[in-house]
Structure 1
Amino acid sequence: MMRLLFSLFAARAGGLALALALSCLTLAAGVALFGVSGWFLTGASLATSAMAFNLFGPSSMVRGFSFLRIVSRYFERLAGHATTFKILSDIRVRIFSRLIPLVPLKAAAHRTGDFVARLTADVEALDMMFLQVVAPIATAVLGALGLGLFLWIVLPDALPVVLIGFALTTLFLPLLIALSGQRTGAATVRTAADLRVAVLDGIDGHADLVALGAVDGARHAVDEAVASVRKARLRQSWRVAFGPAFVVLGTGATAIATLYVGLPVLEQGRVTGPVLVGALLAVMAVFEVSGPILRGAGKLGAASAAARRVQSLVDMPPAIRDPAQPIAVPDAGDITFEQVGFTYGRDQAVLAGLDLTIRDGEHIAIIGESGSGKSTLLGLLLRLVDVESGGIGMGGVDIRAVRQADLHAHIALLSQDAPVFIGTIRDNLKIADPHAADAALWGVLEKARLDDFVRSLPQGLDTWLGESGETLSAGQARRLCLARTLLSPAKVLLLDEPTAGLDRPTEAEFLADLLAVTTGRTLILATHAALPKGAVDRVYRLEEGALTLEG
């Protein structure tokens, strides 16, 4: 966990240092406020009967420290939470960058639910590590040094018992809670991940579960996962609940010990009553930092287990690597598949000795049954995975000799599950070209025959789209994805079942428009749909890992 956190904290060192400094200032102001208040109230009380006491200085100090504590606490929370959110963003970006090459062809030994759990729940388990563990412990150490210096000056006899009590409450007890909660914390993270896997598997496979009459079994699996999560979290909650109790016990015991040591000193006249009371309240105030540490200690087991799961993804070596000395992608040229072979698992051959040449600017279609390898063929061209035998070239250059980013800039993919993202129409289009002007956006909308619809909307390009484009019909959502693909400057367009889920009339219109607006670009269309006669230059059928020319 520390290896992961250190790498993240180092990138945000400035913000964390500011939050830590403000935390120390807040603690110092609180300790000073309590100490001065005790000295002031006791001195003022004694002054009414037997001695004179200057009320103006201490009262001004109380107001000053109170104001300082409020201001420093506010900015400490502001700086600490802002930096924590940035760190969480850094973690998610780091994880997502690892997931990108793993998810498309399911090349990693993880299910979608497990990926989601690592990207959400595991990251959330780390969200308070700085605010509840790292910063409070650092503040506690610095606070103990400051308090020790103060007691060494005004009440040295109490210094040993105060430091022992503070260390037991702030460091030793949290350590015991953290060690005892390792197994429970790991169980909490594991069961939460299992629940997400069960739920997402049920959602993804709902149609199959209904068809096979296995809905009750899936529901039972979710119920068991929920029960396991509840049991693990109850155990963790017990440990978290011990934190406030230990703070009260530790503070009270240390205060009693300080008073026990201080009263003889008072009797001997080596310290005055107001100073003793001020020192006693200052000692109690410094325990303020113990609360977050003890609460964080109860969650440390879960955070440690989550960090291990996150780190396992971060450390996972990419399956596809860029060459040490990449070659530029040719601006134009034929695409060639030469004796390409690819196998899923150990014995599920998908492509075997496949040969194909696509001329620059040519339109071809690849048809075949589901599972025949059409999507795999497109994935190999995008280099989501590498061929196991043979090679793929573009303009005479093997695609393994170019940078992946350059290859992906040259090729655009419109898949059957291309998403419409939450945001505006403009946001969705600009994913393909962040610098595109409005004229270009309207141009691709016109090519996709969606411009009239968008113009009819009150906010036009700035119209907000719901979750997964729920405010659009299936045909409109598909045309928006087509417009986004057309906005890309890519010279090669790959379309993987772009009409899946559309009715026949909408499908026919979509294909007719699609083939008309892709003139001048190389087009590879993988589809089940019936193509209009003469729509493409050639049609191939993919069967048993090989291509045969149709008609």
Structure 2
Amino acid sequence: MRFFVELLRGRTRKLLLALALSVATLLTGMALLGVSGWFLTATYLAGIGALFNIFIPSSMVRGSSFLRILSRYGERVSGHAATLAILSDLRVLVFSRLIPLVPIRDAAARTGDFVARLTGDIDTLDMVVLQLVLPVAAALVAALGLGVVLAFVLPEAIIPAIGGLLATTLLVPFVLSRLGQAAGTEAVGRSAHLRTLALDGADGHGDIVALGIAPLVSGEFDKAARDLRAARLRQARWTALGPAAMQLGLGLTMAAVLWIGLGAHATGRISGPMLVSMVLLILATFEASGPVLRGAGRLGAARAAARRLSAILQAEPAVDEPRVPAVLPASGALSAGHVGFRYGDRPVLTDVSLTIEAGERIAILGESGSGKSTLLALLIRLADPGEGAIRLGGINIRDVATSELHGRIALLTQDTPVFIGTIRDNLRIGAPDADDATLYGALARARLDEFVRRLPLGLDTWLGEAGATLSAGQARRLCLARTLLAPAAILLLDEPTAGLDPDIEADLLADILTATSGRSVVLATHAALPEGAFDRVYRMDAGRLAAA
């Protein structure tokens, strides 16, 4: 969990505030119980009619109680704020590491598993701060304070009191976490599997129904749910031992201090009210043990979640950034020279050479699986070719920072997503600072502006998941408008009309050609090409490129 420690360091101020309030809550609780025990016992022993100053101790009780309420509230607010900030940082970190992992090499990985790591696994780590870091740190401070008090009042009780507190707060949770690690690891794995099945089932619902395998898929999901329930029950059994262990540790520690205190009281070295105060003071210090022991059974799951996240953070990206990036010229041709590429042992591209001059329009035809999409992915450097080189303006794109390269080359695929959010949100992915006029200009070039203007909320219209509120053609046009907003001078279009009706396909292809005027275009498609619309037409067959 080293990466999580680094995230904690990034939120030091928030954590220190939460820790200070946690310590304040614990110390005021110790003061409240300690003074109350001494006050009530002393009042009883003084008897009715005896002279006794009740104002100072009663003021201390009221003050400690009031301060404890304030510090507890602040602790909860600041502790949760720090936790949510750390988890947000972690999501950004994991997502940023996922981006270079997904193209080509990990394209076959299950999206549901990625989502499970971004959601369930990260959520599992929320207990680290609230049930481990802050309570343990507060317990150590409380142990120090308890030791100082006992050194003046009952020195011989220091070892059993501090030893019992630390054993209950540190040793017992460590043992429980080890014993429950297998159950926690299984629960995390089962939960991720269930999330994956749910997301894959939702994404592939149409195919599942069309193939008539809904009962089979439903049965697999039910089995995964039962397996998760069983794993969670095993984890809960270990978790339930935490509070029991706390009560046992507290009882033994209080009994040991009381035994030592009664001996000291018999010799007159400590008064009865002070002895009661010390016993209740120990009771208050064990408040820090509660969260740790309640979360001890979940530490195994947290470790498993951390391992799954660490696998992403430590994975090698599909392409390596150059240590000293080369600077691209203002303009230049994009060329592939004798490029070869393999998926494992299977050759996908063989000796492919292609040059795209500034402003040229090139079409590549070919059957599915012939290598068209792979070539476009290599041109934008989603992966590196095994043989040959790709150059932009005469510079090998391996030597160029991917951020600069993607500022010059943009890719629009048939499965480019429409994200949950507004139309404005989706468009601004291509140009984050674009104003409304610029956004409507891009929509106009994609012939979608009139539709958006008719909507009651216009650009602020909320889109459903994967653009569910749009037709297939409208979704493609929205993605086209987003691509047009990018400043790239070279556009790679990978089957942008696939899956559309012939009439819609022809209209969208014509609009694409009009909208991309002035830019270099490489179009990979099955669609019929308008005559004379392209400067050159190639055909890809079994990974080899030839003029059509």
Instruction: Name the TM-score, length of structure 1 as normaliser.
Output: 0.94
- Greater CA drift, 429-438 or 463-472: 463-472
Displacement of 1:257 in angstroms is 2.7
Q: Deviation string for 1:111-146 (max 9, x for gaps)? A: 333323322222222121011112211111111111
SS in 1 for 2:104: coil
SS in 2 for 1:436: coil
Structure 1 unaligned blocks of 5 or more:
none
Q: Is the 1:181–1:301 contact (alpha carbons within 8 Å) kept by the matching residues of 2?
A: yes
Q: 1:442 aligns with which of 436, 440, 443?
A: 440
Superposed counterparts of 1:153-164, under 5 Å: 153-164=152-163
- Aligned partners of 2:495 and 2:102: how far apart in 1? 19
SS in 1 for 2:268: coil
- Aligned partners of 1:507 and 1:55: how far apart in 2? 89
Superposed counterparts of 1:217-228, under 5 Å: 217-228=216-227
Match of 2:528 in 1: 530
Q: Deviation string for 1:447-479 (max 9, x for gaps)? A: 112222222222222222222222222222221
Match of 1:125 in 2: 124
Q: 2:513 aligns with which of 505, 512, 515?
A: 515
- Aligned partners of 2:399 and 2:253: how far apart in 1? 69
Q: Is the 2:101–2:316 contact (alpha carbons within 8 Å) kept by the matching residues of 1?
A: no
Match of 1:379 in 2: 377
Displacement of 1:221 in angstroms is 3.3
Q: Partner amino acid for 1:496? A: D
Match of 2:248 in 1: 249
Q: Partner amino acid for 2:409? A: I
Is 1:167 aligned with 2:166?
yes
Match of 2:75 in 1: 76
Cα RMSD, aligned residues only? 2.1
- Aligned partners of 1:298 and 1:109: how far apart in 2? 35
Q: Label 1:457 to 1:199 Cα distance change in 2 as closer, same or farther (>3 A).
A: closer
- Aligned partners of 1:202 and 1:453: how far apart in 2? 32
Match of 1:349 in 2: 347
Q: Is the 1:121–1:193 contact (alpha carbons within 8 Å) kept by the matching residues of 2?
A: yes
SS in 2 for 1:539: strand
- Aligned partners of 1:145 and 1:51: how far apart in 2? 37
Match of 2:481 in 1: 483
Q: Label 1:436 to 1:108 Cα distance change in 2 as closer, same or farther (>3 A).
A: closer
Match of 1:297 in 2: 296
Is 1:495 aligned with 2:490?
no
- Aligned partners of 1:50 and 1:337: how far apart in 2? 102
- Aligned partners of 2:166 and 2:303: how far apart in 1? 23
- Aligned partners of 2:498 and 2:146: how far apart in 1? 70
- Aligned partners of 2:343 and 2:55: how far apart in 1? 83
Is 1:144 aligned with 2:133?
no
Displacement of 1:203 in angstroms is 4.6
Q: Label 1:170 to 1:352 Cα distance change in 2 as closer, same or farther (>3 A).
A: same
Superposed counterparts of 1:361-510, under 5 Å: 361-510=359-508
Q: Deviation string for 1:495-531 (max 9, x for gaps)? A: 1121233222222221111110111101111122223
Q: Partner amino acid for 2:463? A: L
Displacement of 1:289 in angstroms is 0.8
Displacement of 1:284 in angstroms is 0.5
SS in 2 for 1:120: helix
Q: Deviation string for 1:188-211 (max 9, x for gaps)? A: 222223333444444555565556
Displacement of 1:345 in angstroms is 1.4
Match of 2:309 in 1: 310
Q: Is the 1:515–1:536 contact (alpha carbons within 8 Å) kept by the matching residues of 2?
A: no
Match of 1:280 in 2: 279
Displacement of 1:43 in angstroms is 2.6
Match of 2:195 in 1: 196
Q: Partner amino acid for 1:483? A: A
Q: Partner amino acid for 1:59? A: S
Q: Label 1:320 to 1:35 Cα distance change in 2 as closer, same or farther (>3 A).
A: same
Structure 2 unaligned blocks of 5 or more:
none
Displacement of 1:300 in angstroms is 0.9
Displacement of 1:536 in angstroms is 2.5
Q: Deviation string for 1:405-439 (max 9, x for gaps)? A: 11011111111111222222221111111111222
Match of 1:31 in 2: 30
Q: Partner amino acid for 1:544? A: A
Q: Partner amino acid for 1:288? A: E
Q: Partner amino acid for 1:401? A: D
SS in 1 for 2:364: strand
Q: Partner amino acid for 2:441? A: G
Match of 2:114 in 1: 115
- Greater CA drift, 19-28 or 328-337: 328-337
SS in 1 for 2:456: coil
Match of 1:66 in 2: 65
Q: Is the 1:414–1:495 contact (alpha carbons within 8 Å) kept by the matching residues of 2?
A: yes
SS in 1 for 2:381: coil
Match of 1:101 in 2: 100
Displacement of 1:150 in angstroms is 1.0
Match of 1:55 in 2: 54
SS in 2 for 1:361: coil
Is 1:88 aligned with 2:81?
no
Q: Partner amino acid for 1:32? A: A
- Aligned partners of 1:439 and 1:108: how far apart in 2? 36
- Aligned partners of 2:389 and 2:457: how far apart in 1? 49
Q: Is the 2:103–2:383 contact (alpha carbons within 8 Å) kept by the matching residues of 1?
A: no
Is 1:359 aligned with 2:351?
no
- Aligned partners of 2:485 and 2:124: how far apart in 1? 40
Q: Is the 1:363–1:522 contact (alpha carbons within 8 Å) kept by the matching residues of 2?
A: yes
Q: Label 1:535 to 1:202 Cα distance change in 2 as closer, same or farther (>3 A).
A: same
- Aligned partners of 2:211 and 2:479: how far apart in 1? 34
Q: Deviation string for 1:386-406 (max 9, x for gaps)? A: 011111122222211211111
- Aligned partners of 2:285 and 2:80: how far apart in 1? 22
- Aligned partners of 1:208 and 1:171: how far apart in 2? 52
Q: Partner amino acid for 2:137? A: A
Match of 2:320 in 1: 321
Q: Partner amino acid for 1:113? A: G
- Aligned partners of 1:307 and 1:368: how far apart in 2? 44
Q: Partner amino acid for 1:7? A: E
Q: Partner amino acid for 2:451? A: F
Instruction: Name the TM-score, length of structure 2 as normaliser.
Output: 0.95
- Greater CA drift, 146-155 or 456-465: 456-465
Q: Label 1:36 to 1:242 Cα distance change in 2 as closer, same or farther (>3 A).
A: same
SS in 1 for 2:48: coil
Q: Label 1:31 to 1:108 Cα distance change in 2 as closer, same or farther (>3 A).
A: farther
Q: Is the 1:139–1:289 contact (alpha carbons within 8 Å) kept by the matching residues of 2?
A: yes
- Aligned partners of 1:435 and 1:22: how far apart in 2? 41
Q: Is the 1:421–1:469 contact (alpha carbons within 8 Å) kept by the matching residues of 2?
A: yes
Q: Is the 2:103–2:318 contact (alpha carbons within 8 Å) kept by the matching residues of 1?
A: no
Q: Deviation string for 1:328-380 (max 9, x for gaps)? A: 2233222212111111111x211111121222111122121111111111100
Displacement of 1:50 in angstroms is 6.1
Displacement of 1:233 in angstroms is 1.2
Query: For this pair of structures, how many residues does the alignment match?
Result: 548
- Greater CA drift, 113-122 or 85-94: 113-122
- Aligned partners of 2:167 and 2:352: how far apart in 1? 70
Displacement of 1:258 in angstroms is 2.5
Q: Deviation string for 1:57-112 (max 9, x for gaps)? A: 12221221112111112222222211211221222222222221221214378433
- Greater CA drift, 298-307 or 198-207: 198-207
